[in-house]
Structure 1
Amino acid sequence: MKFVTVKHNHETFVGLVDSDESKVLLLNPAEEVRTGKRSFPSSLQECIDLGESFIEQVQGLHDWVISGAHAASLYVSLDEVTLLAPIPRPNKNIFSVGKNYAEHAIEMGSEADIPEHVMVFTKAPTTVIGPNETVLNHQDVTNQLDYEGELAVIIGKKGRAIKKEEALDYIFGYTILNDVTARDLQSRHKQFFIGKSLDTTCPMGPWIVHKSVIENPNHLNIETIVNGEVRQSSNTKNFIFPIEEVISVLSAGMTLEPGDIIATGTPAGVGKGFKPPKFLSSGDQMEVTIEKIGTLKNTIKQ
């Protein structure tokens, strides 16, 4: 299951993307045909809050659609909708894991920079934009804008002190996130929040893939392309701290809630790691692709 938030005919809907990623089933309009009621919540955040009952309701609707004569009329072409970020305005800051690939830690410093413990910072909710949206170049505050392709985890149920062996049970699904960063601000302020939280610097999407589709999130190919050039190419098997450990550490004394977003870190190949650096410029096109999820595309504002 691939869940999206889309705008269609000036309304926002939660939808289910079909298997060939060409059409979307708008849940509430389809449910209205089926039952006469729009019984799904209006946002994907609210849907995730429902837990497994949401998945069961979606499965029931999907089975009804494909078994009847309504399928062709109830699906809408993806070309006819605008994809928004799956969760357009998160309830909290995005949790972000720093230096979770050894080669990235080295390119940002040396082997001494490989962390011994999970390193976490956050990005403000106001950073989030959707696929194909424009990232502001912020030339008034930075000249070192950088990309970071990442796998993001969406928490599906509330938990604290979550054991590593149970951590995957707390996940709703996975998406792609580009942790766009102002390196000069990051360095100047001696912490990450400001340099990571400029408006539009958290492209996310194009959808959330339900956890049932991805058996092992710690073994997915990940690639970032800028202007046709492959900059990052790795696999999440190279995580220093696998997803189960990240969730366990974060939840040790802090409650994780449905809809919380955890960006799991970026591999080597960021712009700052090149000599000379390859920072982003106006008009640059970024594509982050993760196996079993898809591709997130965004452009830097001209």
Structure 2
Amino acid sequence: MRICNITENGQDYLGVVIDGRIVHISKALEDTPQDQVPKNVSEFIKGGQSAFESLQSYVQKLVISDSQPYVVKETDCEFGPAVPNPSKIICVGLNYRRHADETGANYPEVPILFNKFNNTLTGHNRDIAIPNVTDQLDYEVELAVVIGQKAKNVSEEDALKYVVGYSTANDLSARDLQMKTPQWLLGKTCDDFSPIGPYLVTADEVDDPQNLSLKTTVNQDVRQQSNTSDMIFSCKEIISYISKHFTLEPGDIILTGTPEGVVLGLPESERVYLKPGDTVTVEIEKLGALTNTFIEEK
């Protein structure tokens, strides 16, 4: 199932994507009431398998046509972050071999973890203001893994069973701020630095998260093009490793690293960082394309 977070008047609503259309679940429930159907993404994630089955069964009974008041076009939707309220956003640094190569870094022996906060979340087609404190804003396409069950001390063999779904994300990075100190947090946590979406694609639709193509375009110029098979630490290794140190909760987001092709990987004389007016699209096979336009901070 492919779901999304629709925002209207400051409220989050659950959408289900079917054949290029979006079923607005709250509007559908007004037309065709049914108990136990989740009304937003957080309810869907925290409801576990029963919420998944309830939503799937409900949508299958609906009439899906443009004439229905609960069926809306994607172009008419305002998207919020695909996962709106995680308790944690955990990121993995230097997790692609060719990205480590391009930056001259050694391959890490264990996952390099850092965190971001909810202020960094935004959605598809949202404008993002470039903070005045940076002139080195970089893009990073990343596979986002979304946890669906509480996970503590899980094995690698079982780790993917705790995943509710996957999404496309852009781990925006202000390199000048990131490199000011040994801690990367400052350059990673400015407002809207973690756009994610447009969709949360449930795990049953992704056969192998280690075989997905990734791509970034800046103003339609391809900058990153790789595959999750180049990860140093796989999704299951990352989930298991994190869970041995602290508990993962339903809705937690793990950003699994970026491949080669970032601005930082270029020779210094060739680096052209993002500027107001640039449009960046990050895309992952099976998960969809996430687009944001960058504007000047006022």
Q: Same fold (TM over 0.5)?
A: yes
Q: Which range moved further: 292-301 or 37-46? A: 37-46
Aligned to 2:74: 78
1:49 maps to a residue whose letter is K
1:57 aligns with 2:49: no
Q: Find the residue that maps to 1:301 and give its secondary structure.
A: strand
Counterpart CA distance in 1 for 2:60 and 2:37 is 16
Match among 270, 273, 288 for residue 282 of structure 2: 288
Compute the RMSD of aligned alpha carbons.
1.9
Aligned to 1:154: 146
Change (3 A) 1:232 1:70: closer
Match among 25, 28, 31 for residue 30 of structure 1: 28
Percent of pairs identical after alignment? 38
Aligned to 1:277: 271
Match among 65, 86, 91 for residue 90 of structure 1: 86
Shift of 1:73: 4.4
1:123 aligns with 2:116: yes
1:108 aligns with 2:103: yes
1:255 aligns with 2:210: no
- State the Cα deviation string for residues 125-169 of structure 1 (Å, max 9, x = none): 101110111121112x11111110001000000110010010110
2:125 maps to a residue whose letter is N
1:74 maps to a residue whose letter is Y
Note the 1:217-228 alignment, pairs <5 A.
217-228=209-220
Query: Could you list the runs of 5+ residues in structure 2 that have no partner in the other structure?
Result: none
Counterpart CA distance in 2 for 1:227 and 1:221 is 20
2:66–2:72 CA contact under 8 A, matched in 1: no
Query: Could you list the runs of 5+ residues in structure 1 that have no partner in the other structure?
Result: none
Match among 174, 177, 180 for residue 169 of structure 2: 177
Change (3 A) 1:88 1:250: same
2:96 maps to a residue whose letter is Y
Q: Find the residue that maps to 1:106 and give its secondary structure.
A: helix
1:29–1:38 CA contact under 8 A, matched in 2: no
Q: Find the residue that maps to 2:224 and give its secondary structure.
A: strand
Q: Find the residue that maps to 2:281 and give its secondary structure.
A: strand
Shift of 1:69: 8.9
2:12–2:80 CA contact under 8 A, matched in 1: no
- State the Cα deviation string for residues 264-298 of structure 1 (Å, max 9, x = none): 10000001111221211111110111101110000
Match among 46, 50, 53 for residue 43 of structure 2: 46
Structure-2-length-normalised TM-score: 0.93
- State the Cα deviation string for residues 22-57 of structure 1 (Å, max 9, x = none): x1111222233223x575444312221110011111
Counterpart CA distance in 2 for 1:251 and 1:43 is 26
Counterpart CA distance in 2 for 1:42 and 1:217 is 27
1:89–1:128 CA contact under 8 A, matched in 2: no
Aligned to 2:193: 201
Aligned to 2:16: 16
2:125–2:292 CA contact under 8 A, matched in 1: yes
Change (3 A) 1:9 1:202: closer
Q: Find the residue that maps to 2:283 and give its secondary structure.
A: strand
Aligned to 1:244: 236
Q: Which range moved further: 192-201 or 68-77? A: 68-77
Q: Which range moved further: 236-245 or 3-12? A: 3-12
Aligned to 1:2: 2
2:292 maps to a residue whose letter is N
1:82 maps to a residue whose letter is E
Shift of 1:228: 1.4
Q: Find the residue that maps to 1:223 and give its secondary structure.
A: strand
Structure-1-length-normalised TM-score: 0.92
2:51 maps to a residue whose letter is F
Change (3 A) 1:170 1:201: same
- State the Cα deviation string for residues 7-32 of structure 1 (Å, max 9, x = none): 347753111011x32x1111222233
Q: Which range moved further: 23-32 or 266-275? A: 23-32
Shift of 1:71: 7.9
Shift of 1:60: 1.2
2:129 maps to a residue whose letter is L
1:28–1:40 CA contact under 8 A, matched in 2: no
